């Protein structure tokens, strides 16, 4: 399976000419379905970017993941408290260290009205694991060696080795189960909403699926995702009552949101910012140069300039908030030391620095501001970095193709365990979330060993070794934790900003939103 199997079946443009003439936010205010009566039933969610696509198993950013959670669900998911819960799976049990037995919900249906069956699960997993698959989680799920169908509602996953985190991986928004009746032009999910309409670059509308398996949910008739790429316009729309919920509250607006009695703001210290490298060629193919960059950046400057002080410097391995392990290691941290950075560059053969391209994106102010701080600090150690600020879709493509030398990025992975970082740190598979061309048998082995170990004491020891490998081989350079916020009108009840790395899966709680 390749990404082209799904094309853009879930995103069909209808009025592109209008987008050429007008900004997405301005146009959204004039479109239909915004009457007072509709506001009581349809949640208006201002998003930061139009999803590049909604292919079920491709990762194209957190916003796309949120929209996908409306349309498709997987076997597991997360509650409003961040606890692992069943979605399509009603229950499961570990039969032995390499066998999980699952029971599907009797009342789970796809949007074509057909029940969710074990055959559909087998179809989805086999598509993800196919030799030609480019699914984001293909490698993570490769531990599954067979799907054994017991009956229509029961199946077993046979694993090649134990997995301490399989159930969490199955709860990822990029791991939905789709109907075996799906085609290249129609992807059939079992989410709480069905696709209704969209205008590329402007909005996506979904409507309630009346056969959703959670009784009484979703509570709203639909969700209208409206694109406000400008973060200040996005916040202004919330203040004006034009939308009910926004993602990525501008950090400069946190104080105002907290002081506004008509708004609720929920923050989570989970996402983090970091630098990626083109490790396939040039200076950044040398780990010593990547190490030097780690010492060159004053991280508090990034927190202050890009996040209005709403964050914390991150000096070493990004062990997520809520992790069961204490992996602190002062000997494996990059403290600000530009002189040491210069010395390491000289050792690597670059005593006079060099020229390079620094990739970020024009879509997110936090990425631009972070890149500006990084650019200034690189200049101090003799590296002249030219900023490149494409839109988000183009940023993803450049990352996948290695069309950069150094890149700013931010993410929060998908569950609160060091293993959640595997997709970011292991040998590059062409993901825009990884350093292009990075290879490390050492890191790969430690990640594999940690995932296959079920004893938590032994797992912690493995991850302490991973912390040292991270520091020495530099698959990325961490910059800072950032507070991530959603804000709502006070009439929105039930939405929760999930803790830590689960922040990007907060869309799971849209099911339970009510509008007062």
- SS3 of 338-351: the string is HHHHHHHHHHCCCC
Residues 333 and 411 occupy one common structural domain: yes
For residue 10, what pLDDT is reported? Answer: 59
Model confidence pLDDT, tens digit, residues 212-263:
999 999 999 999 999 999 999 999 999 999 999 999 999 999 999 999 999 9
- Whether residue 292 is contained in a domain is answered as yes
3-class secondary structure, 300: helix
- Whether residue 370 is contained in a domain is answered as yes
- Whether residue 225 is contained in a domain is answered as yes
Residues 357 and 494 occupy one common structural domain: no
What is the rounded average pLDDT of the residues 359-373?
A: 95
- In total, how many domains does the chain have? 3
pLDDT of residue 459 exceeding 90, the answer is yes
Both structure tokens of 160: 């090649």
Transcribe 348-409 into DSSP letters. TT-TT-EEEEEE--SS-HHHHHHHHHHHHHHHHTTEEEEEE---HHHHHHHHHHT--SEEEE
Residues 285 and 257 occupy one common structural domain: no
Residues 232 and 249 occupy one common structural domain: yes
* Whole-prediction pTM: 0.83
CA 487 to centroid of chain Cα atoms: 19
**CB of 478 within 8 A of CB of 318?**
yes
What is the rounded average pLDDT of the residues 333-341?
A: 98
**Which domain, by its residues, includes 143?**
74-169
Q: Exposure string (b/e) for 323-360, b if CB count within 10 Å is 16 or more?
A: bebebebeebbbebebebbbebbeebebeebbebebbb
- Cis preceding-peptide flag for 218 (omega within 30 of 0): yes
Residues 108 and 136 occupy one common structural domain: yes
- Whether residue 61 is contained in a domain is answered as yes
- Whether residue 60 is contained in a domain is answered as yes
- Whether residue 174 is contained in a domain is answered as no
Q: How confident is the model at residue 321 (pLDDT cuts 50, 70, 90)?
A: confident
Model confidence pLDDT, tens digit, residues 96-141:
999 999 999 999 999 999 999 999 999 999 999 999 999 999 999 9
CATH of residue 315: 3.10.105.10
What is the rounded average pLDDT of the residues 36-55?
A: 82
**CB of 314 within 8 A of CB of 478?**
yes
């Amino acid at each position: 399976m390749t990404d082209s199997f799904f094309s853009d079946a879930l995103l069909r443009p209808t009025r592109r000419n209008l987008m050429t003439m007008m900004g997405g936010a301005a146009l959204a205010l004039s479109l239909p379905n915004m009457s007072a009566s509709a506001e009581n039933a349809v949640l208006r969610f201002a998003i930061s970017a139009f999803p590049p696509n909604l292919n079920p198993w491709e990762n194209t950013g957190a916003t796309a993941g949120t929209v996908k959670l409306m349309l498709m669900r997987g076997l597991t998911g997360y509650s409003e408290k961040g606890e692992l819960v069943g979605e399509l799976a009603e229950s499961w049990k570990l039969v032995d260290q390499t066998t999980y037995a699952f029971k599907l919900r009797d009342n789970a249906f796809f949007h074509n009205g057909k029940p969710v069956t074990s055959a559909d699960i087998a179809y989805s997993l086999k598509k993800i694991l196919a030799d030609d698959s480019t699914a984001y989680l293909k490698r993570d799920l490769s531990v599954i060696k067979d799907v054994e169908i017991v009956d229509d509602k029961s199946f077993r996953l046979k694993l090649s080795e134990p997995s301490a985190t399989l159930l969490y991986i199955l709860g990822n928004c990029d791991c939905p189960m789709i109907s075996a009746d799906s085609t290249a032009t129609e992807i059939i999910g079992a989410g709480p909403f069905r696709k209704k309409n969209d205008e590329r670059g402007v909005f996506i509308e979904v409507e309630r699926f009346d056969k959703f398996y959670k009784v009484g949910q979703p509570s709203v008739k639909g969700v209208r995702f409206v694109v406000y790429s400008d973060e200040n316009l996005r916040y202004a729309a919330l203040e004006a009552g034009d939308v009910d919920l926004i993602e990525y509250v501008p950090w400069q607006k946190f104080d105002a949101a907290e002081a506004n009695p008509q708004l609720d703001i929920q923050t989570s210290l989970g996402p983090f910012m970091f630098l990626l490298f083109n490790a396939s060629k040039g200076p950044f193919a040398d780990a010593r140069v990547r190490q030097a960059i780690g010492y060159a950046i004053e991280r508090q400057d990034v927190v202050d300039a890009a996040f209005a002080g709403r964050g914390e410097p991150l000096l070493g391995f990004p062990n997520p908030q809520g992790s069961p392990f204490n992996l602190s290691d002062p000997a494996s941290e990059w403290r600000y030391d530009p002189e040491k950075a210069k010395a390491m560059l000289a050792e690597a053969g670059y005593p006079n620095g060099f020229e390079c391209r620094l990739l970020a994106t024009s879509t997110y102010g936090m990425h631009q501001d972070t890149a500006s701080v990084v650019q200034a600090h690189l200049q101090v150690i003799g590296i002249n970095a030219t900023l490149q600020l494409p839109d988000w879709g183009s940023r993803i493509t450049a990352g996948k193709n290695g069309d950069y030398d150094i890149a700013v990025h931010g993410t929060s992975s998908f569950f609160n365990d060091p293993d959640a970082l595997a997709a970011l740190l292991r040998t590059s598979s062409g993901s825009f979330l990884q350093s292009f061309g990075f290879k490390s048998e050492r890191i790969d082995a430690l990640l594999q060993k940690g995932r296959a170990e079920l004893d938590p004491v032994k797992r912690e020891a493995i991850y302490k070794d991973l912390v040292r490998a991270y520091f020495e081989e530099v698959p990325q350079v961490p910059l800072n934790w950032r507070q991530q916020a959603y804000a709502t009108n006070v009439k929105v009840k039930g939405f929760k900003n999930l803790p830590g790395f689960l922040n990007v899966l907060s869309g799971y709680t849209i099911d339970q939103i009510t509008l007062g």
